[in-house]
Structure 1
Amino acid sequence: MKIIYITQHFPPEIGAAPARAYDLSYYLGKLGHNVTIITAFPNHETNFGIFKKETMDHVNVYRMFRMKDTKQSALRRLMNYFSFTFSSFIGGIFVQKPDIVYATTPQLFQTFSGWLLSKWHRAKFVLEVRDLWVDFAEILGQFKNKKLLNLARKLEKFLYKKADLIVVVTNGYKDRLVSEGIPEEKIIVIPNGVNPALLNDTYANYKDIKTEYNLQNKRVILYSGNIGSAQGLETVIQAAIKLKDNSDYIFLFIGEGVEKKRLKELAEQNQLSNVRFIDQIPKDELISYYKAADIGIVSLKKHPLFSITIPSKMFDYLSMSIPVLIGVDGEARQIIEKLNGGYFFEPENADDFIRALFNAFENEAELKRMRKNLKERLLAHYNREMFAKKLSDHIELLHKKKERGNA
């Protein structure tokens, strides 16, 4: 089948959205589908054009114009969203007639482009809900304009209604949509996971990070990812303040985000020698830091909606055999406990974070056992090649229903 896959973020950008889009499109292509990605020029590029066509691992990629997101104002972010929404529709018009238009959130507005393209091409519309974008935008104060939020909520419900199939990433999201009146039979769960092709025990070019940063004989606690308002990472800084006289532990933060400047200032004000911030680096270079880490941090703020959220960063750590300190209750915690992959701490509770941290390192033998075969346990349940096959089966069924309807 011919599939248009709309996602604003795609490699070489790094993060959960581009990784999922790449992995699913790659494996859908391997299953025989003709996949065309419609995406934006990477946000870090300052020189970009209106349109660029390329091929990435047998997947067609159309890169479309977008206003650069400076991450400094809500208005600029909206301009970034709307410019890609418009350009993605224009680009999709010129793609050979697809059978399926697959559009992912966040952000929400690009999925409206997907729906319009499905009407233009008379194709089936598949909506992927990676997070409850409108709810999270309101909770985190990203958009405070109530009229805009209400309009976005109406658009969200419109798209739920118009979608022929809805793909969600957690069971909690499915339950939430069903409670809002969306028919259960048109919702499927395709969780996040790992690409088995990227799991390899041999890394010839990794750097010795502990030597480079003079961290020998230190216990390295790593956070790598978005340093944003949702992550609740001030809890970790508060824990580091309480442990500032304990030289055994070093906290490494890798990434960018709206909270990074404030957290750095907090660390500097408290003269924390046990906290280091490192700018965002390419994913292949992250391997060296993963190899140096003794344990990883997965954290979100304490809110009922986050209890039905599964941070994709969790799978990145586990895929490198790194146990995690999980500060997310609900489904994420259940996965860690099922895989025997880490230790839970109460979100936004620095004292409980320290308790979990000490619990992890008081029994080194248990931590070592936890690492053993962690990748294998992960792949048995959260394999993106397997998930792509499930998605393929559902969209093929959707296409067959369309053909029967046209017969």
Structure 2
Amino acid sequence: MKIVYITQHFPPEIGAAQGRAYDMSSNLSNLGHDLHVLTTFPNSKPVKKFFKKEKVNKLTVYRSFRIRDTKTSSIRRLANYLSFMVSSCISGLLVKRPDVIYATSPQLFQGVTGYFLSRVHRAKFVFEIRDLWVDFAELLGQFKNKKLLQLARKLESFLYKKADHIVVVTHGYKQRLIDLGVQEEKITVIPNGVNPNSLPSLKGTSPIKHQYGIEDKFLVLYAGNIGAAQGLTTIISAAEKLKDDPSVVFMFIGEGVEKQKLMESATSLNLSNVLFIDSKRKEELLDYYEAADVGIVSLKKHPLFEITIPSKVFDYMSMSTPILIGVDGEAKEIVEKHDAGFYFEPENADNFVRVLKFVQSRPDKLNDIKRHVKDKLLQSFNREKQAEQLSETLINLTKSAKKKLQKKTTSF
């Protein structure tokens, strides 16, 4: 089967979206499918050409133009999305006779590309929803113009209706779509996970604590997007409550719209127990994960986040890092079911401190988690098995289409 896989996020850029796109497309290719990936040039570098075609292992990758996202302007970000939507529509015309157009969100404009190409190529349109983009944008105040919000809702509804099938990453997202009128049989749940062959072996020692002069500290790590949804002001508040405790240090690794504000807050509070580190490549992060005593997964307290499973849960589990999770719902259930860490109440700094000090007093429990959590993760969230599930879904979808076409032909 020939599949066009549309994703704005793809290696060499790093992140959860890039990892899922590469792993899923590669695994589908390993199952015998012909994968053509429509993506863009890395955002870290200026674009010097409109188009580039390359081979990445078994994948045929088409990189097309985009306006660079500076991550400081909503207008610039919108321009980034729209420019890739247009350029990927053009590059997608170069693929001959695909069977399936697979477009992955979070931003909806990749769905527009998917729908357009499915009509041009007369192929099945599958829309993957990794993020309830419009819901979260409204919740976080990113849609201040009500007319724009209404337009986004209409586009969302249009794409859900036109998609031949929809893939979501949580059962909560599935129920959300059903509540919006999407037929249940049209939705498949394929959560995030990890590729078994991409899991690195731990070295047993890490130079990070020595490098930062914190050998005798209990290291609490947050590595990921430092955005509005993460509710990380709670962690800064907790750090303030613990600033006279010499045994604990907090480390933030990553970038995002809230980073500067958090840094300014830590400075104004004279917090010597908080470190901010620039974003690191995936391979560079390994030593940090191994050095960490616990890793934080945090979102703001809201019902929408209770149906969200942050990919950071799987990142920490794959690196055998015990988790402090401040997210209710499905994410909390995964951590508890797999005995991967401890829960604290979202946006409650006092509760976070109490849980942290309890965890710090349980070194035997932390060592037990480090020994067993990776195996538990692979039993439940193996991307090779998830690709098999997706492959079966896509094959059934195209078989159904062929049967309908045959019936129409014989009826004449």
The interval holding the TM-score normalised by the smaller chain is over 0.9
Query: Helix, strand or coil for the counterpart of 1:325?
Result: strand
TM-score by length of 1: 0.98
Aligned to 2:366: 367
1:68 aligns with 2:68: yes
- 1:107-122 alignment runs, 5 A limit: 107-122=107-122
Comparing 230-239 with 362-371, greater Cα deviation is found at 362-371
Matched letter for residue 242 of structure 1: K
Runs of 4+ in 1 over 3 A off after TM superposition: none
User: How many angstroms apart in 2 are the aligned matches of 1:331 and 1:319?
Assistant: 18
- Find the counterpart in structure 2 of residue 273 from structure 1: 272
- Read off the aligned partner of 1:201 and give its amino acid letter: S
Cα drift, residue 108 of structure 1: 0.7
* Amino acid aligned to 1:279: D
Match of 1:183 in 2: 183
Q: 1:109 to 1:197 in 2, by over 3 A?
A: same
Partner of 2:271: helix, strand, or coil?
A: coil
Instruction: Say if 2:47 and 2:65, in contact at 8 Å, map to a contact too.
Output: no
User: In the alignment, which residue of structure 2 is the partner of 1:307?
Assistant: 306
Which residue of structure 2 lines up, in the alignment, with residue 260 of structure 1?
259
Deviation at 1:180, TM superposition (A): 1.4
Give 1:12's aligned residue: 12
Q: How does 1:8-407 map to 2 (within 5 A)?
A: 8-203=8-203, 208-407=207-406
The CA distance in 1 between the partners of 2:252 and 2:202, in whole Å, is 25
CA displacement at 1:58 relative to structure 2: 1.0
CA distance in structure 1 between the partners assigned to 2:303 and 2:95 by the alignment: 41
- Deviation per residue, 1:378-403 (Å, 9 max, x gap): 00001111100000000000111111
Q: Deviations over 1:299-358 (max 9, x none)?
A: 001111000000001100000111100000000000000000011111111011111111
Other-structure match for 2:410: none
Q: Distance in 1 between matches of 2:13 and 2:59?
A: 16
**Cα deviation, residue 202, structure 1:** 4.8
CA distance in 1: counterparts of 2:57 and 2:315, whole angstroms: 22
CA distance in 1, matches of 2:395, 2:340: 35
The Cα of 1:200 is off from its aligned counterpart by 3.0
Please, what is the CA RMSD of the aligned residues? 1.1
Q: Is the 8 A contact 2:40 2:66 kept in 1?
A: yes
Question: In structure 2, how many angstroms separate the alpha carbons of the residues matched to 1:47 and 1:215?
Answer: 41
Residues 236-295 of structure 1 show CA distances to partners (whole Å, capped at 9, x for unaligned) of: 000000000111111110000000000000001111111000000111100011111110
Counterpart contact for 1:100–1:125, Cα < 8 Å: yes
Kindly tell me: are residues 203 and 2 of structure 1, through their superposed partners in 2, closer, same or farther at Cα, counting changes over 3 Å? farther
Deviation at 1:203, TM superposition (A): 4.8
Q: Report the more deviating stretch, 44-53 or 100-109.
A: 44-53
Report how many aligned residue pairs link the two structures. 406
Structure 2: how far apart are the matches of 1:284 and 1:7? 22
2:168–2:191 CA contact under 8 A, matched in 1: yes
| Secondary structure of the structure 2 residue equivalent to 1:390 | helix
Distance 1:97 1:353 in 2: 54
In the aligned structure 2, how far is the partner of 1:202 from the partner of 1:295? 16
SS at match of 2:166: strand
Preserved CA contact (<8 Å) 1:74 1:143: no
The answer on whether the counterparts of 2:41 and 2:47 sit within 8 Å (CA) in structure 1 is no
Query: Quick one: which amino acid aligns to residue 402 of structure 1?
Result: A
The SS at the match of 1:53 is: strand
SS at match of 2:275: strand
Q: Deviations over 1:118-173 (max 9, x none)?
A: 00000000000001100101111123111111111111011111111100000000
**Aligned-residue offset at 1:207:** 5.6
Structure 1: 5+ residue stretches without partners: none
Amino acid at match of 2:308: T
How much does 1:363 deviate? Answer: 1.5
Cα distance between partner residues in 1 of 2:404 and 2:203: 52
In structure 2, the gaps of 5 or more residues are 407-412
Q: Distance in 1 between matches of 2:2 and 2:203?
A: 36
Once residues 196 and 67 of structure 2 are traced to their aligned partners in structure 1, the CA distance between those partners, rounded to angstroms, is 35
8 Å CA contact retained: 1:16, 1:312 = yes
Please give the alpha-carbon distance, in whole angstroms, between the structure 2 residues aligned to 1:84 and 1:266.
36
Between the two proteins, what is the percent identity of the paired residues? 58
Q: Deviations over 1:351-371 (max 9, x none)?
A: 111111112111211121122
Secondary structure at the aligned position of 1:60 is classed as strand
Given that 2:243 and 2:272 are in contact with CA atoms closer than 8 Å, whether structure 1 keeps it comes out as yes
